């Protein structure tokens, strides 16, 4: 099979499309013929080993995993002997968790992993992006227990996590403000934001407003300015938190009525099934910026690394 392989950390050119061994499913695995994957911020970090700490998990000198890509949508081509949940020909989408391997024509995944039948009303490309930004946003929004009528602000509302967070907070009944750049105002309004703040002109931490939930997907402003803009029992979600924000968050959660949610999310089939149902009822729409082929994977990484993508970048395979 063809796959984008990298054997050293570095610039986008380290990704080379080559022949690789097609995997064979063991007892509880399904073999998926991948139709689409995506380039996410996480793939870029792993490619560059940035932050350095990534090397302690994924290989100190060179990467232990040689095929990146954590999301996929495709068709089940064969199944292991014990597989009961899927059959050959099913169209599925999912997340590989920490195993990666989706920048390839085929992948084997456990039937009880983060995999489900693909929503019928979206393309493979649109389905592939859901288990990254959609699941990350859902994980934190469920933890924050957003209630109807609450005021929620999403910073980075034009990104993969942010565009999902705006739509999910709306579906839970919140009044949502999206924070984005001038070029993305129409996009953020189109996905349902009630109000939009252009961060190139205004700073939401200085407008005198307080919010029940601040979902900052891009560490857009200083930690303590964010905290000041929370209501008395407000919750701050930092999906891009580094070690210092995590420690500051623990301190605020322990010493005040405010709460800070950080950490690495886990991937469960239940979450993608929840999102699939929202998509099928028209309450959630994956936002797609650009599509590339597997051969253009390095080009796609260059684009994503700039940090300005609108929603998601697809790789059609």
Ligand X SMILES: NC(=O)c1ccc[n+]([C@@H]2O[C@H](COP(=O)([O-])OP(=O)(O)OC[C@H]3O[C@@H](n4cnc5c(N)ncnc54)[C@H](OP(=O)(O)O)[C@@H]3O)[C@@H](O)[C@H]2O)c1
List of E strands, 25-70? 29-39
Angle (nearest 5°) at CA 116 between 111 and 118: 140
CB of 245 to ligand X, least distance (A): 11
Residue 14 is given by DSSP the state: G
CB of 271 to ligand X, least distance (A): 12
CB of 20 to ligand X, least distance (A): 26
CB of 200 to ligand X, least distance (A): 8
Q: Which is nearer to ligand X, 160 or 317 (CB)?
A: 160
Q: Which is nearer to ligand X, 66 or 239 (CB)?
A: 239
Q: Which is nearer to ligand X, 37 or 220 (CB)?
A: 220
CB of 299 to ligand X, least distance (A): 16
* Bridge partners, 314 (sequence order): 38, 291
Q: Which is nearer to ligand X, 120 or 250 (CB)?
A: 250
| Ramachandran angles phi, psi of 48, nearest 5° | -90, -10
Q: Which is nearer to ligand X, 150 or 220 (CB)?
A: 220
Written as six digits, the tokens of 96 are 């590989």
Tokens 């990484």 locate to: 301
Q: Which is nearer to ligand X, 115 or 155 (CB)?
A: 155
CB of 179 to ligand X, least distance (A): 5
CA 275/CA 50 separation, integer angstroms: 30
CB of 209 to ligand X, least distance (A): 16
CB atoms within 10 A of CB 104: 25
Written as six digits, the tokens of 234 are 């407000």
Residue nearest to ligand X (CB): 159
User: Distance from CA of residue 264 to its chain's centroid?
Assistant: 11
CA 158/CA 58 separation, integer angstroms: 29
* Greatest CA separation for the chain: 61
Is the four-CA dihedral 299, 219, 140, 58 of positive or negative sign? positive
Q: Which is nearer to ligand X, 226 or 239 (CB)?
A: 239
Q: Are 94 and 70 in contact (CB under 8 A)?
A: no
Residue 51, exposed/middle/buried by CB under 10 A (0-12, 13-18, 19+)?
Answer: exposed
Q: Which is nearer to ligand X, 93 or 199 (CB)?
A: 199
CB of 64 to ligand X, least distance (A): 20
Interacting residue ranges for ligand X, rule: CB under 6 A: 40-42, 133, 136, 155-156, 158-162, 179-181, 183-184, 199, 217-218, 220, 239-240, 264-265, 307-310
Q: Are 226 and 250 in contact (CB under 8 A)?
A: no
């Amino acid at each position: 099979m063809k796959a984008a392989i990298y054997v050293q950390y570095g610039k986008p050119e380290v990704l080379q499309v080559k022949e690789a061994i097609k995997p064979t499913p063991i007892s509880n695995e399904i073999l998926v013929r991948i139709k689409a994957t995506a380039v996410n911020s996480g793939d870029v970090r792993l490619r560059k080993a940035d932050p350095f700490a990534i090397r302690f998990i994924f290989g100190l000198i060179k990467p232990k995993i040689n095929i990146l890509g954590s999301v996929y949508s495709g068709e089940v081509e064969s199944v292991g002997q014990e597989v009961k949940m899927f059959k050959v020909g099913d169209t599925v989408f999912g997340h590989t968790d920490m195993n990666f391997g989706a920048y390839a024509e085929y992948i084997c995944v456990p039937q009880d992993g983060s995999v489900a039948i693909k929503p019928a009303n979206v393309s493979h490309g649109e389905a592939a992006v859901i288990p990254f930004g959609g699941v990350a946003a859902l994980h934190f929004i469920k933890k924050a227990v957003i209630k109807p009528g609450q005021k929620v602000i999403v910073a980075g509302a034009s990104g993969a996590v942010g565009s999902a967070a705006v739509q999910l907070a709306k579906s839970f009944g919140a009044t949502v403000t999206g924070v984005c750049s001038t070029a993305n105002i129409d996009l953020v309004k189109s996905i349902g934001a009630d109000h939009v703040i252009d961060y190139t002109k205004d700073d939401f931490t200085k407008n005198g407003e307080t919010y029940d939930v601040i979902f900052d997907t891009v560490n857009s402003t200083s930690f303590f300015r964010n905290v000041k803009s929370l209501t008395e029992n407000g919750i701050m979600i930092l999906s891009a938190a580094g070690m210092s924000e995590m420690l500051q968050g623990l301190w605020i959660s322990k010493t005040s009525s405010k709460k800070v949610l950080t950490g690495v999310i886990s991937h469960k089939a239940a979450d993608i099934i929840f999102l699939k149902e929202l998509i099928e009822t028209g309450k959630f729409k994956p936002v797609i910026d650009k599509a590339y082929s597997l051969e253009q994977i390095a080009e796609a990484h260059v684009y994503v690394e700039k940090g300005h993508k609108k929603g998601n970048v697809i790789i059609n395979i």
